[in-house]
Structure 1
């Protein structure tokens, strides 16, 4: 019999190959089915899947599918290689199966190799490749067996050439040999169906695709998983929870469920929710960038919602002036530098009041920047600034002089330490000029805040803390529309800056320069003032180079002269404010003007610079007597600095041994008991006293109290 078979096969090789295929396929199929039954009989084994259309052994053989029935072992298709699917895996594990560089377009020569496991694992090959091999192997085997070496070589050569052509000329480019990522149905489907089927109460032979639908990608927001519900399914809360757990516990992300039990074809669906957005973190350092707009100053970055946004001071709107408070080293001068550099780069002129004499040294000596250091110089600069403001507003008005209007220049006055300036100016006023009553320059500052924007004259203010005593009343303080607090802020200072009803926002004080700001906008949630954390830009190393690159300022400014648009009429108006007497060369003003550009060294002695006089001047509500000994341009006499304290500050410093509220009560009783309270130096809002004055009053008060007991 075997001889007849060999004779028949040798007489017709084609029939021999067909016979081998026909005989071999059932044999391989029988072995596969027996192996599947053996696996199902073992503990933990899985039963074979139900027969489906196209699941016959011959169909599997000719379509390149696994001969073993059941779920596919990879995600391969007819023209695409696949990745293995052996268990439920995470999205990260699936992503690792495909080389992103390959998927994005690697060379064709690496297409098959780049298929990962697709080259080395039979189940990951494309179906077409598996069919070719399955049909070619029996033919080559018969040719070799019968000694038909030329025929076998031809078959092998055709296969090699076909593979090379497929790799080089097109199939790789078309994606046929690229590994196809496993779909959610392949990855999550078997385990999900295994858990959901008993809950639904459907038979083991039911096809999964009839009851469970999974999208190709379950990581996309809005992806939808649908489970059909049997018409007679009793459900119940426990069954619903079990079915929901069978679905959502096997899927990444958050899912929202909806039950449609009243439909003619009841079903349940789960929809992938949007992943929660992450709130970005503020950077620890921000580079400064110019805006190119005169009325917008870039000062850093803040978080708004889920994005970072630029923090701008918009001086043309309700925030014409800006201020920043913070303890020493918190970064106040850095923020003030931002305003000064922006002003110069947009054509404005800058005056800096720096009674600390070392706060903004990077800007000193630059054209267009005048740094005033002594109280007399600072008061003179403030007076000239107010006159310039009034004259500019008149020139820009409807009846203003067109010639003056053409030469107007925007100006910015920066008070690096406003409280220090105010206190030193008060000391200079009372203890050197022997002034009586309230000094006028405290009110000049308030007038400038109220009227500066319309005349393009603006203020930038720095302070250790926000305090009512230094920023005028509510109306004046409101003009500083953009406020910042760097580092720690106590409750009283917070209330002055942002309002007592505004929730406190605590910045990360471990980051240099970190603070909070408000620009007049309303918080959409609280409907109150919107205070947010921000990181100021760091510009200090660039200040000198940027100011050097700016075109030179007008000659009159660098020469220390007053603004040329100040007319005689403006000076007459200024007389009512007692300004001219405090200007350079005036009765109380410094002897020499402060120049811009190159730094000129000058003696700094005592607490003020002026010319020796012995005369009296009377202004509008101002009376001052000046005696000899005021330091002149040559520094003929030096006076020690005098330290001033408000009543509250004296209590905090321990000069008075009571709380502020108690000290105010005792101060009120002093007149009743005949214990004169010191007159002090008022600035129109707060009265300040020297340490000696307060100690003298304390001694007299305590002595009177002893006699009364």
Structure 2
């Protein structure tokens, strides 16, 4: 059959040529009809548009350009001039690995690569298109002339080139990717159709002379430049219309700039950086050890668009740290972080825990002393303050070098400081029968103001950052790193972080989530930088980590005072009324390590505490004595007494008014001869028992009813 066909072609060349011409006429007619359709659709015609040599069909065919003159198309193929439409997802997208409609990136394959190269004619370089257009006719001519070997060789070369393109393409080696249709082809035609009437530009004007787009408008920094006619009126409405015609057709956010005052006025749009996604805080953070004794790892926080470690830096002008929050918010967990870090770096720890179970994992460990009763907590606080002052003296210029060698860093952790202070006040007034202002309320304030250079620091846990428990704003400000866990109301926030600090609400559904401030300034608000954070959860590891910590000195585990507290320092401490409250002191607790109960010397008479202004003059504190034995033993069996401040009494419903009204009635009470109870002052707040409040309320209401 093939021999007969070849003989027919060789013997009848004229008939074969005529057949080829007849077959080519419909093809040429289709091309001409398509070209005319494109011109009509775009509003151009051969009569209305001047002829240009470079627009000739043959020139475009030989140079690899699109067959349609004027604006290029994004859907041009080998034989078809193409349609001016915005391309949809094509084989080129698949080959390039672009995401599909669901956002999932498509994995390129060999078939998709071949489809991209063969089907997306507009993606081919002009030289490649010209080569194909010339090679294919040349192969036909060679076959027509009888050189079958040349045609076979050409077919083999093209096949090998196709295989090589597939192997080196994005699906395999990734040496090349199909060139996507540029933004000028995808977005330009529709954009120009809306811009041309708005600018008042004639239809005969070429788009390339007025509108220029970057090849890829999806990358930050891409530009769209539009030349403005000299006669364009502009105005805000005109600018908005022009900008909408540009940005509504482009992905992403764009910033616009207008240059109307230039000699060649133009406008440009620049693609903005896409908004970065803020990372989410983890719901659980693992603890990390730190070998720097002055840097405590706490957890993780978001800073800008990155996650960073939250670290307490105690070697600063504000060396102490604290955490506030309601019951169950995780205060003890955060305080455990400071305790474990301290012990791993050889720091000695005293814990004031009047709740008696909040830090149970640390009990019985070397280097950790837990004090649970009010008397023990007061004694530990007094010994700690003496140790701090003695250490300051030892490291001074006139200090004893032998004592300086003994110094060991220490930290005192007060878990639930308000509870401890209230219980200490009850112990002071109702157990040892003390009067006036107790001295230990001021010891804590003095310790906060002193201690950085002596390596004595405080860790504080409190439900609220009220001044009543810290001594005042000046003392509370020494807590350089502070956190609030869980829910926090506006008044508590203002006290903790300052009224000018914007309030941050943490995700209270995540256990332990809170807000912290470490003294840094927010670069945006120029105020204190409070940020949400997630503390590390260390409780299950506390016991083991404390077991493997360096052992503490024998004197500390034996419950003895610091060896650098000399007799001279004890005498000096009498000015702060400390020695009587120490273990073995007249008002101090017994200690089993010291050999059983301590025999206290009897004192005669009733002592009265000096006023607040006399606490620094050296007047000692005494207590009421019952039967030759101090009130510590006599009142040991007395039940605990609940105390209320005036504000707390109103909040608890003991007084039927709000706090402001109760203050007014309290002031009027003395004028009417109705004695208001003296209560138990701590130097800042006065506390009253339930009986005292109810007795005064009964007398006040009776007086009001007796008035005519």
| TM-score exceeds 0.5 | yes
Give the structure 2 partner of residue 88 of structure 1: 86
Q: Secondary structure at the match of 1:180?
A: coil
Offset at residue 373 of structure 1 (A) = 0.9
Offset at residue 417 of structure 1 (A) = 0.8
Q: TM-score if structure 1 supplies the norm length?
A: 0.82
| Residues 163 and 50 of structure 1: CA distance in aligned 2, closer, same or farther (over 3 Å) | farther
Give the structure 1 partner of residue 368 of structure 2: 369
Deviations 1:312-364 (A, max 9, x none): 33322232222222211122212222222222233211111000011112222
Q: TM-score if structure 2 supplies the norm length?
A: 0.82
Alignment of 1:482-521 (within 5 A): 482-500=481-499, 502-521=501-520
Give the structure 1 partner of residue 616 of structure 2: none
Q: Distance in 2 between matches of 1:170 and 1:495?
A: 62
Q: Work out the number of aligned pairs and report it.
A: 679
| Residues 658 and 244 of structure 1: CA distance in aligned 2, closer, same or farther (over 3 Å) | closer
| Residues 17 and 416 of structure 1: CA distance in aligned 2, closer, same or farther (over 3 Å) | farther
1:354 matches 2:353: yes
Say which is worse superposed, 368-377 or 513-522, in terms of deviation.
513-522
Give the structure 1 partner of residue 577 of structure 2: 578
Give the structure 2 partner of residue 649 of structure 1: 648
Give the structure 2 partner of residue 443 of structure 1: 442
Give the structure 2 partner of residue 405 of structure 1: 404
| Residues 564 and 231 of structure 1: CA distance in aligned 2, closer, same or farther (over 3 Å) | same
Alignment of 1:608-619 (within 5 A): 615-616=603-604
Equivalent pair of 2:297/2:310 in contact (CA under 8 Å): yes
Q: Secondary structure at the match of 1:538?
A: coil
Say which is worse superposed, 571-580 or 418-427, in terms of deviation.
571-580
Deviations 1:522-552 (A, max 9, x none): 5555555444444333333333333233222
Give the structure 1 partner of residue 590 of structure 2: 591
Say which is worse superposed, 158-167 or 403-412, in terms of deviation.
158-167
Give the structure 1 partner of residue 97 of structure 2: 99
Q: Distance in 2 between matches of 1:53 and 1:99?
A: 40
Alignment of 1:14-33 (within 5 A): 28-33=27-32
What are structure 2's unaligned runs of at least 5 residues?
A: 1-5, 100-105, 610-618
Equivalent pair of 1:372/1:381 in contact (CA under 8 Å): yes
Q: Distance in 2 between matches of 1:683 and 1:240?
A: 70
Q: Distance in 1 between matches of 2:421 and 2:383?
A: 17
| Residues 384 and 637 of structure 1: CA distance in aligned 2, closer, same or farther (over 3 Å) | closer
Q: Distance in 1 between matches of 2:246 and 2:232?
A: 17
Say which is worse superposed, 174-183 or 450-459, in terms of deviation.
174-183
Q: Distance in 1 between matches of 2:203 and 2:630?
A: 107
Q: Distance in 2 between matches of 1:548 and 1:47?
A: 93
Offset at residue 414 of structure 1 (A) = 0.7
Offset at residue 188 of structure 1 (A) = 0.9
Give the structure 2 partner of residue 255 of structure 1: 254
| Residues 350 and 226 of structure 1: CA distance in aligned 2, closer, same or farther (over 3 Å) | same
Say which is worse superposed, 297-306 or 396-405, in terms of deviation.
297-306
| Residues 69 and 683 of structure 1: CA distance in aligned 2, closer, same or farther (over 3 Å) | same
Q: Secondary structure at the match of 1:436?
A: coil
Q: Secondary structure at the match of 2:572?
A: helix
Alignment of 1:277-316 (within 5 A): 280-316=279-315
Equivalent pair of 2:587/2:630 in contact (CA under 8 Å): no
Offset at residue 464 of structure 1 (A) = 1.7
Offset at residue 448 of structure 1 (A) = 0.9
Say which is worse superposed, 520-529 or 412-421, in terms of deviation.
520-529
Q: Secondary structure at the match of 1:244?
A: helix
Root-mean-square deviation (CA, aligned residues, Å) is 4.4
Say which is worse superposed, 522-531 or 688-697, in terms of deviation.
522-531
Offset at residue 194 of structure 1 (A) = 2.3
Equivalent pair of 2:92/2:117 in contact (CA under 8 Å): no
Alignment of 1:171-190 (within 5 A): 178-190=177-189
Offset at residue 389 of structure 1 (A) = 0.6
Offset at residue 239 of structure 1 (A) = 4.9
| Residues 52 and 293 of structure 1: CA distance in aligned 2, closer, same or farther (over 3 Å) | farther
Alignment of 1:226-237 (within 5 A): 226-233=225-232
| Residues 380 and 53 of structure 1: CA distance in aligned 2, closer, same or farther (over 3 Å) | farther
Offset at residue 421 of structure 1 (A) = 0.8
Q: Distance in 2 between matches of 1:88 and 1:225?
A: 17
Offset at residue 96 of structure 1 (A) = 5.4
Give the structure 1 partner of residue 454 of structure 2: 455
Q: Distance in 2 between matches of 1:290 and 1:364?
A: 21
Say which is worse superposed, 561-570 or 614-623, in terms of deviation.
614-623
Equivalent pair of 1:85/1:186 in contact (CA under 8 Å): no
What are structure 1's unaligned runs of at least 5 residues?
A: 1-5, 79-83, 596-601, 603-608
Q: Distance in 1 between matches of 2:340 and 2:16?
A: 89
| Residues 20 and 275 of structure 1: CA distance in aligned 2, closer, same or farther (over 3 Å) | farther
Say which is worse superposed, 543-552 or 280-289, in terms of deviation.
280-289
Q: Distance in 1 between matches of 2:302 and 2:163?
A: 56
Deviations 1:76-132 (A, max 9, x none): 999xxxxx996325899986562269xxxx99x966752553245556556566555
Deviations 1:39-66 (A, max 9, x none): 5557x89879986664443444444445
